[in-house]
């Protein structure tokens, strides 16, 4: 199962970090559309944040694991852009979970 953890700032509910861990085991390696979808959404979001906002997340990636932490963003406008991209990632992951909920769980704290 893929486990998604979203950590939010308690005061303003902004996303501070996220982690994705595990494998869906929906199909054999190389044919697993759930893993492929989650990977495309999450890695694409990290790449989009860096390419579109110039913000580099403190991120780690290895087989079956991706994490990202927002360290410091100086501009309020840039912070808002990063938050929009991260919230968009959550919506996309929730959409995957609607169809493949037995293979992915999302914890939004």
pLDDT number for residue 38:
97
What pLDDT, in 10s, does the model give residues 23-53? Answer: 999 999 889 999 999 999 999 999 999 999 9
| Sheet with 2-8: strands ordered across | 58-62, 65-69, 15-21, 2-8, 104-108
- ∠ CA(18), CA(58), CA(61), 5° rounding? 70
What are the domain boundaries of the chain? 2-108
Catalytic residue numbers read 23, 35
- What is the pairing mode between strands 58-62 and 104-108? unpaired
Mean per-residue pLDDT, 2-7: 98
Tell me: pLDDT of 109 over 90: no
**CA 43 – CA 27 distance, rounded (Å):** 21
What pLDDT, in 10s, does the model give residues 66-92? Answer: 999 999 888 999 999 999 999 999 999
The fold of the 2-108 domain, in CATH, is Alpha-Beta Plaits (3.30.70)
Q: Point out which residues pair with 67 in neighbouring strands.
A: 19, 60
E-only strand ranges, 29-109: 58-62, 65-69, 104-108
């Amino acid at each position: 199962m893929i486990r998604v953890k979203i950590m939010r700032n308690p005061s303003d509910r902004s996303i501070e970090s996220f982690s994705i861990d595990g494998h869906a085991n929906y199909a054999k390696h190389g044919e697993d559309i759930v893993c492929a979808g989650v990977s495309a959404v999450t890695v694409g979001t990290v790449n989009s944040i860096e390419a579109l906002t110039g913000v580099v997340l403190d991120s780690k990636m290895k087989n079956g694991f991706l994490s990202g932490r927002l360290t410091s963003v100086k501009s309020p406008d840039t912070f808002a852009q990063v938050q929009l991209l991260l919230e968009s990632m959550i919506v996309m992951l929730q959409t995957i979970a609607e169809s493949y909920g037995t293979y992915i769980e999302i914890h939004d704290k």
